[in-house]
Amino acid sequence: MSPRRQTPLTHEYILLGYLYHTPMHGYDLYKALQGSGSTPLIWSLKQSHLYALLDKMEKEGLLEMNVIPGETRPDRQQYHLSPAGQECFLSWVSSPVEHPRDMRQDFLGRLYFARRLGGDTALRLINQQNQRCQEWQNGMCAQEAAFDEGQDYERLVFRFRILQVQGMLDWLDECRRALAPAEDTP
């Protein structure tokens, strides 16, 4: 068993994000994840895995479930966030990712739901992530500079990583421009 603390995966946070605004049935969550909107570009989830996650999240106290009786159909289970689930989601959606590898799915999930929260939430998240990316890049540049003359391969590996993070920084700048409020023109 790993000594690392278990934290929810991105899919669990995505489910919290959908349930943050409105209670939903499991099948409605599945349709939202599989639909034609933005989220299928990033995540996919089998229906059986979805229901297993909902059950796990309810046991962890992140979700609560109500049974909605059906007169002409079977009873349905409707999920909504518990106070702990709300706190967990808001903490996740407002904080940057800690590793470059988490930008592809985890940060995109945070950004998607930060935009749905409105206000300056998405811009604050982008600015925090930009700062974190600059920290990664500075650290990598320092490591690259410390290599000896014969460590050409190591230098190439770090150059690759540095340029990946530079691409992330460039993309975050695009996001900032796309989400910035339009300036009033006379």
pLDDT digits (tens, 9 = 90+) for 39-85: 777 777 888 899 999 999 999 999 999 988 878 888 888 999 999 99
| Confidence (pLDDT) at 186 | 46
Are the beta carbons of 39 and 112 closer than 8 angstroms?
yes
Rounded distance between C-alpha atoms, residue 90 and residue 20, angstroms: 9
Proportion of the chain above pLDDT 90, given as a percent: 68
| Confidence (pLDDT) at 3 | 41
Are the beta carbons of 79 and 59 closer than 8 angstroms?
no
| Confidence (pLDDT) at 182 | 55
Q: What is the CATH number of domain 1-93?
A: 1.10.10.10
Cβ count near 120 (within 10 Å)? 13
